[in-house]
């Protein structure tokens, strides 16, 4: 693995990679840090037959693992959680040591955003080591909320008719979940961008072209009124895969 930007001062070993991909909440005046993680084909697609797995490369898997190894919580849209059949995290010995070194809890929980239709028996709720946080609005049916709780999940209500993401992230930060690893999907990322809640975009560009009708990193009903600007924080190359970190150019929040 080679570092292109910023000019490297040391080899990119595991310690250097960990330093690049950590969440800077301890040395930034921000209460929380939201990092969006995606792998993309070189022609902009994020899926093969509806899943991202076919695009992932060894380099992408390394930084993808770092994203949740160093996070307080993993944020997912309900569609992605279902499409990827996403289970809870179960750290191996190496991850456990890394998390202890950074003063993190033993396991980062999942936080799934849903309008109220997410099944209570979904893998992301029942196949977990620590309780999943279901983020929804007050409009979610009471019976569904009770079903989530009965399945072992914690229910976080944010918003009346629809999910209020700024309020949800503030609640997560209040509860100590400040390092937020968002792993999609595109609708959730689009809403986070619209609300200007994304601090960092971590994009792995695989040396593959897929064409077709593959989705994109962020989607919404309408384009943003004003594009969000990001600065390149680091650029690595590994066996044809580009690993790019973009940090939002804005004042501290």
pLDDT tens, 123-132? 999 999 999 9
pTM, two decimal places: 0.91
- What pLDDT, on the 0 to 100 scale, is given for residue 224? 87
pLDDT tens digits, residue range 39-76?
999 988 888 777 777 788 999 999 999 999 999 999 99
Percent of residues, the chain, with pLDDT higher than 70: 96
In which band, very low, low, confident or very high, does the pLDDT at 187 lie, cut at 50, 70 and 90?
very high
Whole-angstrom distance, CA of residue 167 vs CA of residue 32: 13
pLDDT tens digits, residue range 224-246?
888 999 999 999 999 999 999 99
Neighbouring residues of 153: CB distance < 8 A, sequence distance ≥ 6? 120, 125, 131, 132, 133, 134
CATH fold for domain 2-6+31-220+227-239? Dihydrofolate Reductase, subunit A (3.40.430)
What are residue 200's DSSP bridge partners? 35, 247
**Mode of pairing for the β-strands spanning 73-77 and 200-206:** unpaired
Most confident of 4-8, 11-15, 141-145: 141-145
Q: Is the pLDDT of residue 252 over 60?
A: no
Q: Is the pLDDT of residue 102 over 50?
A: yes
Whole-angstrom distance, CA of residue 118 vs CA of residue 80: 11
- What pLDDT, on the 0 to 100 scale, is given for residue 251? 40
- What pLDDT, on the 0 to 100 scale, is given for residue 28? 67
Average pLDDT of the chain to the nearest whole number = 91
- More confident call, 26 vs 122: 122
Q: Is the pLDDT of residue 30 over 90?
A: no
pLDDT tens digits, residue range 167-185?
999 999 999 999 999 998 8
Sorted by where each begins, the domain ranges of the chain are: 2-6+31-220+227-239
């Amino acid at each position: 693995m080679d570092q292109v930007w910023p000019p490297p001062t040391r080899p990119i070993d595991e310690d250097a990679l960990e330093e690049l991909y950590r969440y800077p909440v301890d040395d930034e005046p921000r209460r929380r840090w939201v990092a969006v993680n995606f792998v993309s084909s070189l022609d902009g697609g994020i899926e093969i037959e509806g899943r991202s797995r076919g695009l992932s490369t060894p380099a992408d898997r390394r930084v993808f693992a770092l994203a949740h190894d160093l996070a307080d919580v993993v944020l997912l849209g309900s569609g992605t959680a279902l499409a990827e059949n996403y289970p809870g995290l179960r750290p191996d010995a190496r991850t456990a040591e890394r998390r202890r070194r950074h003063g993190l809890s033993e396991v980062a929980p999942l936080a799934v955003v849903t309008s109220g239709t997410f099944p209570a028996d979904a893998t992301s709720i029942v196949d977990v080591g620590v309780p999943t946080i279901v983020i929804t609005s007050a409009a979610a049916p009471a019976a569904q909320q009770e079903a989530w709780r009965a399945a072992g999940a914690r229910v976080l209500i944010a918003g009346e008719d629809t999910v209020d993401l700024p309020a949800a992230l503030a609640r997560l930060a209040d509860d100590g979940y400040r390092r937020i690893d968002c792993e999609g999907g595109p609708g959730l990322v689009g809403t986070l961008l619209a609300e200007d809640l994304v601090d960092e975009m971590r994009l792995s560009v695989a040396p593959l072209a897929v064409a077709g009708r593959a989705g994109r990193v962020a989607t919404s009903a309408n384009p943003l009124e004003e594009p969000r600007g990001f600065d390149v924080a680091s650029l690595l190359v590994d066996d044809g895969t580009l690993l790019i970190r973009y940090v939002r150019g804005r004042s501290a929040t």
